Amino acid sequence: MQTLETYIPEDFYSMLVMAIVAVIAIWFVMFVVRKLIGVALVAALIVGGFMVWHNPAVLRTAQDTAVHYYDQWRFGSAAHEY
């Protein structure tokens, strides 16, 4: 079984290149991937809103759910429990 020591370079130039690649990878994950996830979430909200808007059954369910959660937040219980 080989260990990682055989894959780690010993010269300074290779270590410097590996460090630069690691910094670029961290930057990519922190900024680019985060923005792509944000764009995907916004697109999902737009598509979901479009589906709810054009389907009366789903719109009614969404309205009932929103009213139920609002009533729980505002009054501490659902409106139909009075």
pTM equals 0.51
- pLDDT of 23: 94
CA distances from 81 to 7, 46, 47, 58, 78 (A): 66, 33, 33, 23, 6
The pLDDT of residue 44? 95
Burial label for 32, CB within 10 Å (0-12, 13-18, 19+), is exposed
Residue pLDDT tens, the chain, 82 long: 467 666 776 777 888 888 899 999 998 888 888 899 999 999 999 999 898 889 888 889 988 999 999 988 888 865 555 4
Q: What is the pLDDT of residue 46?
A: 95
